[in-house]
Structure 1
Amino acid sequence: MLVNILAPIFVFAVIVLIHEGGHFLMAKFTGMKVEEFAVGFGPKLGGIKRGETLYSLRSIPLGGFNRIAGMDSSDKNDDPRAFVNRPVWARLLVIAAGSVFNVLLAFFIFAGAFLYAGYQTFPDLPVVGGVLSGTSAEKQGIEKGDTILTVAGRKVDTWTDIGKITKTLDTRIVPVTVSHEGEEKTLTIMMTDGDNGRPIIGISPYLEHHDVGLGEAFLMGGERCLFLLKMMVTGLVDMISGHEADVAGPIGVARMSAQVADTGFLSLLLFIALLSLNLGFLNLLPIPLLDGGVLILTLIEGVSGRELPEKALYYIQAVGVTILLGLFLFAMSNDIQGLMK
């Protein structure tokens, strides 16, 4: 139960703090004045001031925020180090840094996971990689490392041959010949239903393990990020075009965090990497109020050489609020449906 509570807090805190940390570091790097860097939200529990920046701890431990002087468009700050008074290139770097840091976090987690755990491939050999607990295969003595020779009297050359044979059988009772440490034996197996309703023997395939060096881990981490980003673009297009899209809100993410945490810390880190990549991608969408929308507005200001009229900003922000509210309601609807299943 404690893990179910702490896991979502840990997940949200990491991805939001990394995001805000990107804004913070780039603001400092470009010479802007950062008035506060807060860990958490809500009432302040305490803080330490170092130079001009207050580093505070808030009561709600879900992420954090920056308070950069002149960041609020309504703040007519005359300080030359205020956000609104800095060059356009500096503002663009600060705005983009949050999402860039989220992508970098995902990249380093994926690369680290490949370096630590390596990866597995499916050689399609008729070798048992594992036996499902409680199945007839386990009771009849099939073990990890055994080679499947025949199923229902038909020769097996590859692992995929097993599924091709079993789906054509009219009976659930099937003779299986295996080779165990060089000794052949024929066993009578009672097949059970798999997840897709198809009959299964109750064994899983052998997967070949590969160790990974540092350079290959970085390459594979980058490839994984690119693959997931392409999947996110596809999902966004599906959602816009009215096709079914699997979108989770905060409740859904919290539930998944608790479930993933039960499978181990590495799985939780990989889940954080996926969410961090999602946050980085979504924040760069050209939607007002998101970092991507602010980037576009800042670019327009840089090209035109003047600020947008307040009335135009009002309508742009109203559109942004409408879009974000719609996305939030859609995600919450999916969360509620998930709770009812």
Structure 2
Amino acid sequence: MAAYLVGVVLFFLGIAVTIALHEWGHYITARAFGMKVRRFFIGFGPSVFSVRRGETVYGLKAVPVGGFCDIAGMTAQDELEPDEQHRAMYLKPWWQRIIVLSGGVAMNIIVGFVVLYGVAVTSGIPNPDADFSARVGSVQCVPDRQIDATTLSECLGTGPAGEAGVRVGDRILAVGDREVETFEEVRDTVQQLPGETVTLRIERDGVLVDVPVIVEEATRLDASGREVTVGAIGVTSQPPTDVYKKFGPVEGVGATARFTGDMIEATFEGLLAFPGKIPGVVASIFGAEREIDGPMSVVGASRIGGELVERSMWDMFMMMLASLNFFLALFNLVPLPPLDGGHIAVVLYERIRDFFRKLRGKTPGGPADYTRLMPITVGMAALLLSVGATVIIADVVNPIRLFG
């Protein structure tokens, strides 16, 4: 229990640090371009403490699950003090504003990469060069039926693949006209062809070989326990080697960069699927089964962090923290205010608008009027608060559990 609580606290602190570094990305880029940063706070709600250093007030608020970097003149509607007139953000070149608005996103990606690099050189990360291709591990007979969830009937012989000449170590490239990359694709394709003859395109010792195989009919149990007829050829997969690999300091840079790309791609796909998973989160509050890959709040993520530390799975703990950074980065790029992506979209709109005005011989149109975006900003903020509250409730009453 003590280890679990330590993990919960550490992951919560990791989230707070992640948010702080996101805001610091805005802070350092704004300062670099001569913009005035009025306030730099971590958290929301009542202030716990604050201190002024130079022209900036730094502080911590009661709920450390967010933060803000208050830059003078982020919009033309901001009220400015006399000493801020020449340092207002909206008066700076468009490319400087884009860099500042992207500073938090860039910082999260850098932090995620650094965390993964640390894991890569200390304990290991998924090896981007691991061979997951459809390589044959064994050839065997095909049991004609499935007795229960874990038992198949007995059989004799070498099986259809063995009789056709398929050998251990062969790499299956195609089943008939369908190219395959994994053994699961081989299995799924063959299951749809009971009683047919199919040609396997095989790579053996660097040579391509076409092997005709008669697909045997067999009965198996589907997810509901009902018997279905499927095709089988009597091959098993060869387990991939070096799935996880510890890298040296130099080679770890490239491996981490590739794995970072894979994680960002997976995070992007998860972000696209996010809205569709909210109904399931709501249903889980009332007793439905919680999807293990569904949305989590700070509460849920910290609980998972506690479970990982309790089992000394520090590498998974750190990779989860890296994943959080990538999610925060991509989520903030959503082109709707009050997110960073919404502000970036406004700057790009101004730039594109002024480009076409210039083509028509007109002067630049001036800063965008953010008051027109208030309905979208308020609506988006209300939606984020509602979704956040819903996920927190689900994480309390029906949390995601990795280990049962």
TM-score for both structures, normalised by structure 1: 0.67
| Matched ranges for 1:34-183 at <5 A | 34-41=37-44, 42-47=46-51, 49=53, 51-58=54-61, 60-62=63-65, 64-71=67-74, 74-77=77-80, 79-119=85-125, 167-168=150-151
Deviating more after overlay: 115-124 vs 265-274 = 115-124
Letter in 2 for 1:246: G
Letter in 2 for 1:255: R
C-alpha distance in structure 1 between counterparts of 2:240 and 2:328, whole Å: 36
Partner of 1:215: 250
C-alpha distance in structure 1 between counterparts of 2:139 and 2:320, whole Å: 30
SS at match of 2:250: helix
1:45–1:59 Cα contact (<8 Å) kept: no
Kindly tell me: are residues 37 and 326 of structure 1, through their superposed partners in 2, closer, same or farther at Cα, counting changes over 3 Å? closer
How far 1:251 moved relative to its partner? 2.2
C-alpha distance in structure 1 between counterparts of 2:139 and 2:322, whole Å: 33
1:248 maps to 2:308 = no
How far 1:22 moved relative to its partner? 0.5
SS at match of 2:338: coil
SS at match of 2:115: helix
**Which of 5, 9, 13 lines up with 1:6 in the alignment?**
9
How far 1:71 moved relative to its partner? 2.9
Partner of 1:30: 33
1:120–1:207 Cα contact (<8 Å) kept: no
Kindly tell me: are residues 59 and 312 of structure 1, through their superposed partners in 2, closer, same or farther at Cα, counting changes over 3 Å? closer
How far 1:211 moved relative to its partner? 4.1
SS at match of 2:112: helix
C-alpha distance in structure 1 between counterparts of 2:118 and 2:74, whole Å: 35
Letter in 2 for 1:97: G
Q: CA RMSD in A?
A: 3.7
**Which of 318, 327, 338 lines up with 1:269 in the alignment?**
318
1:260–1:267 Cα contact (<8 Å) kept: yes
Give the length in aligned residue pairs. Answer: 274
C-alpha distance in structure 2 between counterparts of 1:228 and 1:6, whole Å: 25
> CA offsets per residue over residues 306-339 of structure 1, 9 Å max, x none?
3334552223323423542454355346425533
Kindly tell me: are residues 321 and 237 of structure 1, through their superposed partners in 2, closer, same or farther at Cα, counting changes over 3 Å? same
1:288–1:319 Cα contact (<8 Å) kept: no
Aligned residues with identical type, % of pairs = 25
SS at match of 1:222: helix
Partner of 1:297: 346
> CA offsets per residue over residues 141-160 of structure 1, 9 Å max, x none?
xxxxxxxxxxxxxxxx9599
Partner of 2:219: none
1:280 maps to 2:340 = no
How far 1:37 moved relative to its partner? 2.5
Letter in 2 for 1:219: G
C-alpha distance in structure 2 between counterparts of 1:274 and 1:312, whole Å: 35
1:39–1:58 Cα contact (<8 Å) kept: yes
> CA offsets per residue over residues 38-81 of structure 1, 9 Å max, x none?
345532424251x3233335555555432222236642325211
SS at match of 1:56: strand
1:119–1:211 Cα contact (<8 Å) kept: yes
**Which of 228, 234, 239 lines up with 2:269 in the alignment?**
234
Deviating more after overlay: 91-100 vs 246-255 = 246-255
How far 1:240 moved relative to its partner? 4.6
Kindly tell me: are residues 23 and 47 of structure 1, through their superposed partners in 2, closer, same or farther at Cα, counting changes over 3 Å? same
> CA offsets per residue over residues 281-309 of structure 1, 9 Å max, x none?
11111122111111101211233333334
How far 1:123 moved relative to its partner? 8.8
TM-score for both structures, normalised by structure 2: 0.57
> CA offsets per residue over residues 2-35 of structure 1, 9 Å max, x none?
4155224312212101101101111111111112
How far 1:241 moved relative to its partner? 5.8
1:71–1:83 Cα contact (<8 Å) kept: yes
> Which ranges of structure 1 fall in alignment gaps of 5 or more residues?
125-156, 172-195, 197-204
2:90–2:367 Cα contact (<8 Å) kept: no
C-alpha distance in structure 1 between counterparts of 2:126 and 2:272, whole Å: 31
> CA offsets per residue over residues 70-106 of structure 1, 9 Å max, x none?
2366423252112222222211111111011101111
How far 1:258 moved relative to its partner? 2.0
How far 1:269 moved relative to its partner? 2.3
> CA offsets per residue over residues 113-167 of structure 1, 9 Å max, x none?
112223577899xxxxxxxxxxxxxxxxxxxxxxxxxxxxxxxx95999xx9x95
Kindly tell me: are residues 160 and 316 of structure 1, through their superposed partners in 2, closer, same or farther at Cα, counting changes over 3 Å? farther
Letter in 2 for 1:289: P
Partner of 1:18: 21
How far 1:111 moved relative to its partner? 1.7
